[in-house]
C-alpha cells in the first residue's frame, strides 16, 4: 500500500485529501505545520509528500528545502498543493525539487491522477522474480525453467503448478 504524507494547515483540505487517498487505497499521514511534518515524515517513510506552501511558522518552500537536503527524504517525490498561483511560484517550487504543482482549488479526480502519475514515474523498477535452488532455476517473469543450465519445456498447466508450489516457498 503506497504511503502519502500530507502537510497542510487547512483541516478541511487535508481531510478531503486524506479521505480520497485512503478511499483509493493509500495509507495517509497528516501534519498541520512544517515543523510537525518534518518531525513525522521520517518514521512514516512516505512514498510521496503533498506540501502546502503557505503554512504557519515554517513556510512550505523551507520545508521543501529541508526535505531535499535530508538524505532520508531527498528522493521522495513532492507534489506542492497551493493557493499560490503565479507562474513565479510554480516555477520556483518545481526548480527547488517538487515533482508537480497543483493549484487550489483543485479537482479531487485530478489530484488522484497526479498522485498516481508521480508514483508511477518514481516507483523503483520491479524486481525480477526468480527462484534458484541448487541446479534448478525458475524465472517467473519469462516463464523459463532450467535445470543445470538446460531449459526444461513445461506446459502452461505444469508451469502454473510449479509456480503455485514455488510460491509457497518464497
Alpha-carbon distance 1 to 125, whole Å? Answer: 16
Residue 107: its pLDDT value, please? 96
Q: pLDDT digits over 56-103, tens only?
A: 999 999 999 999 999 999 999 999 999 999 999 999 999 999 999 999
Q: Which stretches does DSSP call E strand in 61-116? A: 78-82, 100-103
Q: Contact, 98 vs 74, CB < 8 A? A: no
Predicted TM-score (pTM) of the model is 0.74
pLDDT at 25: 94
Q: Is the pLDDT of residue 157 over 90?
A: no
- Of all residues in the chain, the percent with pLDDT exceeding 70 is 95
Strand ranges of the sheet holding 100-103, from the earlier edge strand across to the other edge:
27-31, 3-7, 48-51, 78-82, 100-103
81 CB neighbour count, 10 Å cutoff: 23
pLDDT band for 126, please (50, 70, 90 cuts): low
* The length of the chain, given as a count of residues: 170
Amino acid at each position: 500500500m503506497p504511503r502519502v504524507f500530507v502537510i497542510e494547515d487547512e483541516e478541511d483540505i487535508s481531510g478531503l485529501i486524506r479521505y480520497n487517498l485512503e478511499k483509493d487505497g493509500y495509507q495517509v499521514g497528516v501534519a498541520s505545520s512544517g515543523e510537525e511534518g518534518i518531525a513525522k515524515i521520517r518514521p512514516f517513510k512516505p512514498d510521496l509528500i503533498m506540501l502546502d506552501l503557505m503554512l504557519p511558522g515554517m513556510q512550505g518552500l523551507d520545508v521543501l528545502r529541508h526535505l531535499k537536503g535530508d538524505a532520508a527524504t531527498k528522493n521522495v517525490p513532492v507534489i506542492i498543493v497551493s493557493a499560490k498561483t503565479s507562474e513565479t511560484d510554480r516555477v520556483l517550487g518545481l526548480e527547488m525539487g517538487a515533482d508537480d504543482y497543483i493549484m487550489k482549488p483543485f479537482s479531487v479526480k485530478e489530484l488522484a491522477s497526479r498522485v498516481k502519475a508521480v508514483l508511477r514515474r518514481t516507483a523503483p523498477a520491479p524486481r525480477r522474480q526468480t527462484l534458484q535452488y541448487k541446479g534448478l532455476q525458475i524465472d517467473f517473469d519469462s516463464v523459463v525453467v532450467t535445470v543445470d543450465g538446460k531449459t526444461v519445456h513445461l506446459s502452461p498447466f505444469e508451469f502454473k503448478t510449479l509456480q503455485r508450489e514455488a510460491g509457497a516457498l518464497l
